[in-house]
Amino acid sequence: MLLLRLGLAMRTVAAMPLLLLVGACAGHAPVAKQAGIVLPLQTGWFQGEPVHYVTTDISDRAMARMAGANWVSRLANVLPGPTSQPGYRSALDRVYKFAAGEQGSVLPSAPQPLGGDNQQRAYSPLWQVVMVHWQTGKQVRVLKSEQDVLTAEDAGDIRLEALPIIVNCPVIGLGKQFLPGVSLP
């Protein structure tokens, strides 16, 4: 009986570092009510609604410096190879960034609802940057959805350029809804 208890205790002790590691990334650490953090909030568009996100990591050094984000060269490793099979599943989505900064980026997916009950399986905070260039002589206007972007491309108003740049930009707000615990000044 002592050996059985000791064996169970040894397995429990051996599993503790794994549980601590998992908990460190996903759990809630006790935080004082007065504690806070300020992050640069980005605003873009998703299906005609304002979307709010933070940019924490970028695979391109120059872009990371300009955005005040971490340069994470390994993020580029998530790009699918040029010979990806049909039906290839990826954790990447696209983010349409406007080359001249005319407007906020357009995201094709967002968590709905925000938080632990998200039902949008297509959402990922990992985005491949697709640069949007307005064609000379075309009227610049605000594009508020992926459909707006694709319609403008079909009309010849814009040119899309997929870049080998990955950004980590978790969505924290959609419209007037925000992740639990998020507050704006």
pLDDT digit string, tens, across residues 32-83? 555 677 888 999 999 999 999 999 999 999 999 999 999 999 998 888 776 5
pTM: 0.77
User: Is residue 141 scored above 50 in pLDDT?
Assistant: yes
Q: Which pairing describes strands 57-58 and 70-71: parallel, antiparallel, or unpaired?
A: parallel
For residue 137, give the 3-state DSSP assignment.
coil
Torsion of CA 28, 29, 35, 37, to 10 degrees: -60
The predicted structure's pLDDT at residue 45: 97
